[in-house]
Amino acid sequence: MHLIQENKCHGGYWRRYQHDSETCGCPMTFSVFVPAAAEQGKCATLFWLSGLTCTDQNFVQKADVESAAAEYGFIVVAPDTSPRNVGLDGEDLSYDFGSGAGFYVDATEAPWRANYRMYSYVTEELYSLVADNLPMDPERTGVFGHSMGGHGALTIALKQPEKFRSVSALAPICAPMSCPWGKKALAGYLGTNQEDWKAYDSVALIESGSKVSGILVDQGDKDEFLAEQLNPELLKAACAEKGIPLTLNYRAGYDHSYFFIKTFIRDHVKHHHKMLNDVNR
């Protein structure tokens, strides 16, 4: 981990690191908010997954998460959304596939499979890097995200609930197998066999028996992508059928932007604080 930037904020620090990733086969950059509470011992930790076109810096500079993270004593980890500049044909041709659009899957199709392994990067390499170098409490670790990152957060929690013990999302892509963004990404990274896609579709995972102890989702009702891409009602139906507690809030007048995220980010930090400190779970 090579520290490339540090800024004091709300008594803690935003730190930006770069490291050589074995998983992605290239240098990867991520940001971490470390609260003042970390001076006293291990902290609950949240992994934030950003959406299409984002780097780690969009969330750092726009979300205003650090005030709540400082109050509740959370470390917050914000990785990049894909490998960068790995020299693949087509990696920079579109906003919804390739650079900035890793979709938090482990690609199996050439040429993407050598580098585009964001699922393993987040859940294994980055997780271990943070656990080994920062005062992260592995018993109190959650995941949340926005849009493509909301999809990533939901699937990661459903697949690894023992590691990521709380989950929430803002305007997530709830059923990528059922929307244009998801179909393009899953076909490109995983191939045309849709049975393989189910491993990275929240609704399919729930239908197959994956469970978490509770989900919080906030969705703006003026979101320009709501009707075509996000499908929260499919997630609601799947959770209802399988008995997974879901709080789905439709927020009047809000769109898909970081103005929406920064308005409700504190609610999500509070949700994770409650879930990760519930001794009855």
User: Per DSSP, what are the bridge partners of residue 17?
Assistant: 3, 30
Residue 278 confidence (pLDDT): 76
**pLDDT (tens digit per residue) in 75-105:** 999 999 999 999 999 999 999 999 999 999 9
Cα separation, 264 vs 279, whole angstroms: 25
| Cα separation values, 95 from 20, 147, 211, Å | 25, 14, 32
> Is 90 exceeded by the pLDDT of residue 279?
no
Residue among 256, 268, 272, 273 flagged as catalytic: 256
Is residue 80 part of the annotated active site? The answer reads no
User: Per DSSP, what are the bridge partners of residue 26?
Assistant: 21
Residue among 31, 82, 99, 147 flagged as catalytic: 147
Residue 238 confidence (pLDDT): 98
Report yes or no on whether pTM surpasses 0.95.
Answer: yes
Is residue 147 part of the annotated active site? The answer reads yes
What is the mean predicted confidence (pLDDT) over 194-221? 98
**pLDDT (tens digit per residue) in 114-167:** 999 999 999 999 999 999 999 999 999 999 999 999 999 999 999 999 999 999
Residue among 106, 201, 218, 223 flagged as catalytic: 223
Is residue 272 part of the annotated active site? The answer reads no
74 CB-near residues (< 8 Å, 6+ apart): 33, 35, 43, 44, 45, 46, 68, 269, 272, 273
Q: Would you give the DSSP letter of residue 138?
A: E
Q: Are 263 and 65 in contact, with CB atoms under 8 Å apart?
A: no
> Is 60 exceeded by the pLDDT of residue 209?
yes
